[in-house]
Amino acid sequence: MSTPTAKGNQKAIMSTLTEAHRRRTFAVIAHPDAGKSTLTEALALHAHVISEAGAVHGKAGRKATVSDWMEMEKDRGISIASSALQFEYAPTGHTGEPYTINLVDTPGHADFSEDTYRVLTAVDAAVMLIDAAKGLEPQTLKLFRVCKARGLPIVTVINKWDRPGRTPLELVDEIVSEIGLQPTPLYWPVGAAGDFRGLARITDDGSAEEYIHFMRTAGGSTIAPEEHYDPTAAADREGEAWDTAAEEVELLAADGAVHDQELFLNCITSPVIFASAMLNFGVHQILDALCELAPQPAGRATVDGAFREVESDFSGVVFKVQAGMDKNHRDSLAFMRIVSGEFDRGMQVTHAQSGRSFSTKYALTVFGRTRSTVETAYPGDIVGLVNAGSLAPGDTIYTGKKIQFPPMPQFAPEHFRTLRAKSLGKYKQFRKALDQLAAEGVVQILRNDARGDAAPVMAAVGPMQFEVMMARMENEYNVETVAEPIPYSVARRTTSQSAPELAKQRGVEIFTRATDGELIALFGDKWKLAFIEREHPEFELFPMVAD
């Protein structure tokens, strides 16, 4: 006979499994200016969590995007920091509980690849956004490879079909030839790029079953009304445009480009949807497809080779720490992906890296800059923990049996600058800002005795990270700074045994990394590094990316 406790545990397990089943957690990845932030707002609009989209940066009369909140993002029209949005959505014809969508908009610029990589460790699928005129671009290719390596299923959205661009078959062929991913269209465009009339919905056997005609709204700021036609009526209405679309769909089906769920989950195929995020054409079709096809949250392997199932005790992994999201709140948020169990605000959890226990009294869900207190959350959800100062990207928190998830590797920096405050009177604020922003991972901060604490070295993947660092120092901490280049371009980790002799080599300087105490050797260039490795094989030098 089962005890009340056993029954309670079983009920909790079933609740967790049920809630996990209706979660969809995904990231949007793309090259800069492919329309990620515009699509993010369009998705939120179709979920009825905002009433009007204003998605074009720098356009008169338009609002700034929900997801882009930093002044630099608004000024430049690019996403610099990843942002998390959570909302509920019921697909077309869905009668049960709505899905809970956790959508993470990622930086598009290559200088912020590390932030994007962190996000991709926290999601279960990705939307790969492609500009209809430009096709696959370098950053898209790079991010695709990360998704492939992580086993993240990809839904492909070909955006900006309302503008002149390439032919749909040409874009599909490019995806096959460039990245070896087989596109399987779910919705095919009726009308050439620049003459976007609607979408042909494709059946499981690869035929055009229905025509969805979109009607424009003023400035694309509201949901575009739809009209639905059967194939015969579609041919009468659209003539050659429908016939061309139907023929292309048949051609692809004959070539085997038909959706197969197992192949999709194994990252062999990718469902394709054509859309215009600006006009809100094809947007709810994207959400419907994600709800139907994207995987629900799964468990995760631990550092000791075990596996944490979603129905196990609570556990979560921090993938980002962010401060300065709201000048009214002088705090930081640790963004956590819940891996297993039920999260209840105020619960006592253990920080795996330090072994310390702390309370989660201040827990939030975040919609852009808007904060809402979260009482309960489940696997797949993204939760912001306020002022959890001991947490860093890659850290694990848990209840019950001790576990720890694998750490998050850091990218190898290629750019280096010293940083100092313009005013010596701001030194205290300068140090505080350095510590906070280094913990977030905005840049890596390197120090040594020769340079002192007043002029540490910033190390970054791309130079725009330095601009973000300096802008945030000024805007959030009221500290104006000066950055100056130093003659290094290559970094390696080293050991306390090798560091003293390495430091004697010309063109080499040794630093300690602020966040973890790692010893870092900087070299003038790759040839200098190669020379030292050849002449001194006894020196211990390791790549900057952690194992």
CB of 16 within 8 A of CB of 341?
Answer: yes
Distance CA 337, CA 352 (A): 15
Q: Which residues are annotated as a binding site?
A: 105-109
Beta-carbon contacts of 312 under 8 Å, excluding residues fewer than 6 positions away, are: 299, 340, 341, 400
Q: Which two tokens stand for residue 136?
A: 């696959």
Can you say which residues are annotated as belonging to the binding site for GTP?
105-109
How remote is the C-alpha of 106 from its chain's centroid? Answer: 4
Which residue, 356, 345, 439, 445, is CA-closest to 396? Answer: 356
Q: How far apart are CA 227 and CA 218, in angstroms?
A: 18
DSSP class of 135:
B
Six-digit token pair at 172? Answer: 């599909």
Please tell me the number of Cα atoms within 13 Å of 103 on its side-chain side.
30
Q: Could you tell me where the DSSP H helices lie in 81-166?
A: 113-120, 138-150
CA atoms within 13 A on the CB side of 235: 8
Alpha-carbon distances, residue 512 vs 6, 131, 408, 458 (angstroms): 51, 42, 19, 12
Q: How far apart, in whole angstroms, are the C-alpha atoms of residue 350 and residue 477?
A: 31
C-alpha distance from residue 98 to each of 21, 92, 207, 370 (Å): 11, 11, 29, 22
